[in-house]
Structure formats: structure tokens, C-alpha cells
Amino acid sequence: MLSGPRSAMLMAARRLSFRTTTLCFFAFLLALAWSPHASATDYVWRNVKVGGGGFVPDIVFSPVERGLAYLRTDMGGVYRWDAAANRWIPLLDANSNPNYRGVESIVPDPVDPNVLYAAVGTYHREPAAIMRSANRGKTWTIVPVSFRMGGNEDGRGLGERLAIDPNDTSILYFGSRFDGLQRSTDRGTTWSKVVSFPKGGLGLPEGRKGTDAGVSFVIFDPTDGANGTPSQTIFVGVADPGEHHLFRSSDGGHTWTTITGEPRPDLFPVKAQLASTGILYIAYSNGMGPSGITDGAVYKLDTHAGVWTDITPDKSAPKPTGGYMGISVDRQNPDTLVVATIDRAGDGDTIWRSTDGGKRWTDLRPLSKRDVSTVPFLLWGEKEANFGWWMSALAIDPFDSNHAAYATGATVYATTNLSDADHGKTLTWRPWVSGVEQTAVITLASPPKGPHLLSGFGDIGGFAHFDFDRSPPMFMHPIFINTNTIDYAGMAPNIIVRSGTHQAHAKEHTATLAFSADYGKTWSPLYAPMPAGYIEPKEIPYNYSDPYTDAAIVTSADGKTFIVMTQPTPVLTRDRGKTWIAVEGLPTDGRPVPDRVNPKRFYAVDFNKGVIYYSNDGGTSFMPLPTVGLPSDIRDDKPKWREIAWPLAATPGEADDLWYLSQGKLYHSTNGGRLFSEVPSKLNVNALAFGKAPPGRTYPALYAIGYMGDLSAIWRSDDRGGTWVRVNDAQHEYGRAFRCIAGDPRIFGRVYVGTDGRGIVYGQPRK
């Protein structure tokens, strides 16, 4: 036992060591909170169920394992069908590259069911990659490539562009848009251009209008080769303008010849399938699609005899305009095939089925019904769901001739009784989308009562989500193509207003404004007065907008006042649209922001002057405030597109409490906009939201889409923006394509994120 001066010295040293260790520990925690790569909190992430919702360019079944199939999407990654779980599994949620969301092509290995390849590149402006998985997409090896792709550009329904040699699976070919035919001999690890291929590509389309189709498909003949020896016969289609579009190699890709005798050089081969009989079935169109196709045909080529046969299903005179794209041959019955029209005028697109190699065809549309009870938004207000459009994806299950599927611009349909068409019986198609959330989300709101979430989508309107595990009915009366803004009354959240983009084919209502008094269950249209001199278009095109039809709407805290930002003069109503009065003094484009507690108070920002305006008379008139603390120049803060969140926000449950977002920095006011203070932070904020206060506190938690350093993520602050912690992790990156955000005011830690391609995801702390 120590005593005396030496003992005192040792005790002092130990105390100093303890203090130093403690200080270092707290310094570490502080550094962690502020680090550009701060650790994510332990969150569980899920999708809010809507079901499908977007364009699926192709469905690909594994040729070697029953019940294994894949979807590729144009902006939402790849999905694998899990037969045991009876749902689709997203495979690219761990991807952090926004340009890898759009999938140009996929191909499952023809020998090993565990191996899968994907060609990813949403837009040709950004680099692309080939991805390889040895475990069905659970993890990936990513190989950046020099050739660009266009997974969400015109021509995305062509293919498949990726192909694996079934006799030597180390050999792959990829048909690129701009750089001809590419080949790998080491399972996708390295790639080189096939210089002997006659079509070298047109190069990137800088200076040229639009994009290119390039090589549309690559098909190996598995019978012309042996196991372990490369296949000798390869067929390649090209959908660029030119005299020749179909090419063949008979020596394993070393040399190429033009396949002569193509009956229609004005048409492009867009998809093809090779039957076991040696017949190559080809769908032709006069464009790459998915829109703008006006003509097409279907041909078959006897690859042994070199004989072409026109087997176009619809040869009526005059035949409807449009072409053909989706095509699939029944592996169990090589003379049986289906083909889908695309952009067909008249009654719309259909699927044709033949059981004799194309001599006779049955139109499946009149024999089909759609049961969309599990995905009710597909009705779009009609009694029956549309049969489909943009049907480039069409596949017969290679292990089950009765199981077939096709995709539209909004969903995937499947049937299990395809052969009933041979007897004139009804085919029942049901959405095959459990687990698929392939949508772009524009706006989100989470009220303190009623549904936990309100959503505004691109292309499919919006929803009130009372049950996250069930697909909800679409907002009705009126239906919007896009729902651009949603607002609820802070003190009376049963009152909800929304604005959106006109649905071109809506027959009953033309309103682009609506309100609900029952938490979004039912709606009534609103018609703001048209500005002087405004001329309404005779025909409303798709996704149409102008300063009148695009006007945003907000509601006061008590839900009694609605203000609509018609231009040049905003208007308000206090009697649900029966009468309207002009709003005085509001700055141009100064969208009002209602105080969430005081129904008389509204705020607005003048981007040109850098001044906050306010109203104390329920929005009738606005006056400028002597604002202090905002940046000197905020003109660039004005959103340039209707789908961008407004930079000024009022805090739920807090009177006179405002937040302003300027070029990634946050400014906070607690006195109604008279004084703003910058919140020091290393987080660059792109979007801000409020949620339930942390335990033991009263001020809402803050949520943000933003980035520290090079880490773009979802963040939460429990101390008014003082410190931030990441709440998503490396397995839930979603391509970092985050569009909007909302915090739940009833459940601490829960945050909703609208993505560009993966629908709505929500996370909350693991219990």
C-alpha cells in the first residue's frame, strides 16, 4: 500500500489521466457528431407500400431455376422475385451512385442461377458500370466502363443488350448505344470494343438532337457450340438509322456479316427471341420508343435456311398506327409466342398470342380482365384498369407455359392461365408488384392526426397513407397526374389542401386544386378565378403547367383560409371557393407560409429584396418586416421548378418560429422573421423537416436531406440543428436520389423520405 508524497503524486497522476481520458472520450463523441462520415444510428428502413407505379422496361426469367425472375427499371434499380416470400426484393438499395439507378440491361447466368449481371447508367451524361453478383444480387462487384448508357432515356425498352455465352459463361457481350458492340472474356471484369463489328456507334450525342438506340439486342445460338467452348453463332440487332440492322457472326464474334433480306429497312429490330427450332422472332418499330412509334411489324427468320416470313399480327387496312416491342417465345412450345404492341392508336395497346409460329394470332385484350384490388390506384377513377401502354416487357415463364407477365408504364401484370386464350376463355391479370416501389415522389407531409403520411407523386397523383402495408386508393375528385403541393391546417389537421398537374384524360373534373375535411379520405375540387387575359388550352397535354394551373395552395392554421398563388395576383377564399378576394401586398412569387399555431399569421419571402413579409389579418394583406440576419443576396434561393421544396418553413406547434434554407445553410427565427440567426453546422442542407420532439424535450426534432463532405445522406438533429447524426446507412443508400422529406410528429425518430425511383421509404430507431 502506497502512502506519503509519492502516493499523492500517483493519485494526482491517475486523476489527471482520468480527466484526460474523459476529455478525449467526449472530444471523440463531439468529433463523431460533426464528422463528415458520422456513424448512422441504428435505424430500420422500410417502404411505404403503393405498388409498382413506374415503367419497367423488361422482365427476365432465369433459364435454369424455376421461380427465379428479375425486373429492371428505368430509375429504381433491379428486383428479384423471391418465390418463398412471394415478393420482389430490391437489389440496389446499397448503391450510392445516383446514375446507377437506371438499368440499361440485365442478364441472369444461363448455367449458374446465383450469378446475375446488370448494366447500369441512368443518363449518358454520367459514367456507367457493369455490375456482377454471385449471390443473386445480395452483393455486387462494380466495374466502371468507358461506354455510356441511357437506362432512363428513349430506347430503354430495347434489348436485352447484355448477353452471356451459354457454352462459355466467361464471355459476355454488351450492345451499347454510342460505342458499338462491347465484349468481355473474363466475366465482366474488363471490356473491349469489338472492332470487327460493322456498326461502331455514333459517339456521344453532344451536338446532336436526342439520344441513340445503338445495338438493341445480342443473342447467342446455344446449339452452335459445346460446353466449355465458345458459341460460334451470335445475332446482333442495331436500331440506328441505316441500310442494315441485323448482323451475324459464325465464328464466335471474330467476323461479322450482314443478314440479308430484311423486308423493311425503314423499321428497326427492337427485341428478339431465338426459339429452339432455330427461328429468330423479331419485333420491329420505326422508333426506339417508348413514345413516338407510329409503325412496326413482326418477322421471323429461319436462321438455317435464311428465309424471312412476315408474321405481323394486325394486317387490317387501315391498320392502327403504332409498332411492336415486347416479345417472348414459350420454351416448352417453340411455336408458341406472344408479342405486344407499343404506342398503338385506337383502342390502345394489346398482346397477341400465336401457337403456330405466327400463322394465326389471338388478340388477348378482349379476353382479358384486370383484378387490381390489391393496387387500387391502377383504376385511375375508372371502373376497370387500363390494359396497358409502353409494353416493352413481356415474358412467358420458361418453366410454366401458363405463367406470363407484362409491364406497362405503371405496373407489372401476371396471369397463370395464359393457355385459356386458346379456348376463348377469360384471362385474369393481377398486379405482380409486391415489393416493387418504382416511383418519383414530389412532396410529403405528416399531420399530427389522421393518416401518418400524405404524399404527392409524379405520374400517379398522391395518397393518404392510413396503413403502410396496404396500397391506398389514389386521391380522387379531382385526379392529378402530379401532386405538387400538400398542406394541412396546423391546428385542424383534418383540413388538407393540395395542388397538382392536370390529368389529361380526366373526363369529369379539370381542377388543379382540391381540399379535404376528413384527413384526405374524400376531396372536393377548387377553382380559383382565372387571371385577366388567361386563355385555357383547348386540349390539355400530358404534364401540362402554366402560372394558373400550376398555382400552389396553402391553408391557415385553423383551416378556414386557403391562399392560392395564381399569377400575377394571388387570391384567397374563406368559404371553400365560393368567393375569392385578391391578396394585397404579397411580393411576386412570394408563396405564403402559414404559421402553424396562429391562424391569422402568414409569412412570405421576397427573394429580390431579401425581406420577410407577414400578414396578421389571415392573409388579406402583407407587409414587409425589417428583417435582419438573412444572407445579403437570396435571389438564387427561389425554387426554379414546382417540385422543389420551398426554402421558408414554419415550425409545427411553435408560434412565430421560422426556418430559412439558403444555399445549404440554415437560418432560424423565433420572432416571426424579424431576426434570423445562422445555425452553425458542417451539414449542407438540401431539404428540412420537423418531427416529434426527443424524449424530455418540447422542440421538434429536425430532419434533413444533406451532405457533409462527400457523404449525402438523411440526418436528424435533436438540438435545433446544433449537431446532426446520420440515420440511413450503407445498406440503405437508395442511389442517394432523395427528393423530399417529412418527420412524423407522433413517433419520435420516424422520418419519411421521398426518392426518385424507390418510392417512399421510412426509417425509425430499432427498438
CA-nearest of 763, 766, 754, 765 to 53 is 754
Q: Which of 7-16, 22-31, 65-74 has the highest mean pLDDT?
A: 65-74
What local confidence, expressed as pLDDT, does residue 567 receive? 86
Question: Per-residue pLDDT tens for 228-246?
Answer: 999 999 999 999 999 999 9
Look at residue 104 in the predicted model and tell me its pLDDT: 98
CA distances from 154 to 119, 160, 210, 541 (A): 16, 15, 8, 19
Contact 272, 280 (CB under 8 A): yes
Q: Pull the grid cell for residue 200.
A: 461502331
- Considering only residues 256 and 7, tell me which one the structure prediction assigns the higher pLDDT: 256
Cell of 385: 384498369
Residues 6+ apart with CB under 8 A from 717: 701, 702, 703, 704, 723, 724, 725
Q: Which helix (H) or strand (E) holds 562?
A: strand 562-564
Rounded CA-CA distance 703/742 in Å is: 7
Closest-CA residue to 309 (of 342, 262, 350):
262
520 vs 440: CA distance, rounded Å? 20
Q: What is the DSSP letter of 356?
A: S
Alpha carbons 372 and 638: distance in angstroms, whole number: 41
The answer to whether the beta carbons of residues 114 and 134 sit under 8 Å apart is: yes
pLDDT digits (tens, 9 = 90+) for 160-184: 999 999 999 999 999 999 999 999 9
pLDDT tens digits, 499-517: 998 776 544 447 899 999 9
Whole-angstrom distance, CA of residue 625 vs CA of residue 671: 11
- The CA angle 137-140-146, to the nearest 5 degrees, is 125
Cell match 427465379: residue?
A: 68
Q: Looking up cell 417508348, which residue turns up?
A: 290
Residue whose entry in the numeric block shows the C-alpha cell 365560393: 578
**Residue 287: which residues within 8 A CB-CB, separation 6 or more?**
268, 293, 294, 323
Joined together, the cell numbers standing for residue 428 give 385474369
Residues linked to residue 594 through DSSP beta bridges, in sequence order? 602
- List pLDDT tens digits, range 180-207: 999 999 999 999 999 999 999 999 988 7
Strands 368-370 and 427-431: parallel
Residue 28, pLDDT > 70, answer: no
Span 597-607, average pLDDT: 97
Average pLDDT of the segment spanning 744-762 = 98
Higher per-residue pLDDT: 305 or 544: 305
Displacement of CA 163 from its chain's centroid (Å): 26
Kindly state the percentage of the chain with pLDDT values over 90: 84
- The answer on pLDDT for 215 being more than 70 is yes
Q: Which long-range contacts (CB under 8 A, 24 or more apart) does 309-317 make?
A: 309/358, 310/263, 311/281, 311/354, 311/357, 311/358, 311/359, 313/339, 313/352, 313/354, 313/358, 313/361, 313/363, 314/341, 314/352, 314/361
Left, alpha or beta for 252 (phi > 0: left; psi -120 to 50: alpha)? left
Q: How many other β-carbons are positioned within 10 Å of the β-carbon of residue 525?
A: 15
| 582 has a pLDDT exceeding 70 | yes
Shortest CA distance to 719 belongs to which of 76, 186, 34, 19? 34
Cα 246 to Cα 5, 217, 261, 308, 476, distances in angstroms: 95, 10, 10, 12, 48
Task: Determine the average pLDDT of the residues in 39-62.
Answer: 93
**Short-list 563, 648, 663, 571, CA closest to 603:** 648
- Tell me the C-alpha distance between 734 and 75, whole Å: 11
Tell the residue number behind the cell numbers 421510412, with chain if given: 762
Residue 396 CB partners (closer than 8 Å, separation 6+): 328, 329, 330, 331, 336, 337, 338, 403, 404, 418
- Classified as helix, coil or strand, 212 is coil
Give CA–CA dist 314/309, Å, rounded: 15
Cβ partners under 8 Å of residue 638, min gap 6: 589, 607
| Distance between CA atoms of residues 67 and 168, nearest Å | 24
Q: How far apart are the first and last CA of the chain?
A: 48
In whole angstroms, give the CA distance from residue 163 to residue 181.
Answer: 11
- Ranking 31-35, 292-296, 727-731 by mean pLDDT, the lowest is 31-35
Size of the chain, expressed as the number of residues it contains:
767
CA 403 to CA 338: how far, in whole Å? 12
CA angle (118 as vertex; 117, 120 as ends), nearest 5:
155
Catalytic machinery residues: 74, 459
Q: Which residues contact 549 (CB under 8 A, 6 or more apart)?
A: 501, 502, 512
Which band of pLDDT confidence, cut at 50, 70 and 90, is reported for residue 705? very high
> What average pLDDT does the structure give for the chain?
92
Calpha distance 224→564 (Å, rounded): 68
SS3 122: coil
pLDDT band at 289 (very low <50, low <70, confident <90, very high): very high
Q: Is the dihedral of CA 638, 640, 643, 644 positive or negative?
A: negative
Please report the pLDDT score of residue 532 as a whole number.
80
Model confidence pLDDT, tens digit, residues 416-464: 999 999 999 999 999 999 999 999 999 999 999 999 999 999 999 999 9
**At 200, which helix (H) or strand (E)?**
none
Check residue 2 and give its pLDDT.
Answer: 33
Mean pLDDT of 20-34: 37
33 pLDDT band, cuts 50/70/90, is very low
When comparing pLDDT for 23 and 537, which is higher? 537
Phi, psi torsion values for 79, nearest 5 degrees: -125, 145
Q: For residue 680, is pLDDT > 50?
A: yes
> Measured on CA atoms in the order 540, 541, 543, 548, is the torsion positive or negative?
negative
Residue 306's nearest CA partner among 372, 257, 253 is: 257
Percent of the chain with pLDDT over 70: 93
Q: For the chain, give the longest Cα–Cα distance.
A: 113
Q: State pTM to two decimals.
A: 0.92
Give the number of other CB atoms < 10 A from CB of residue 263: 11
Q: Strands, E, within 112-244: which ranges?
A: 116-120, 128-133, 141-145, 162-164, 172-175, 181-184, 192-193, 215-220, 234-238
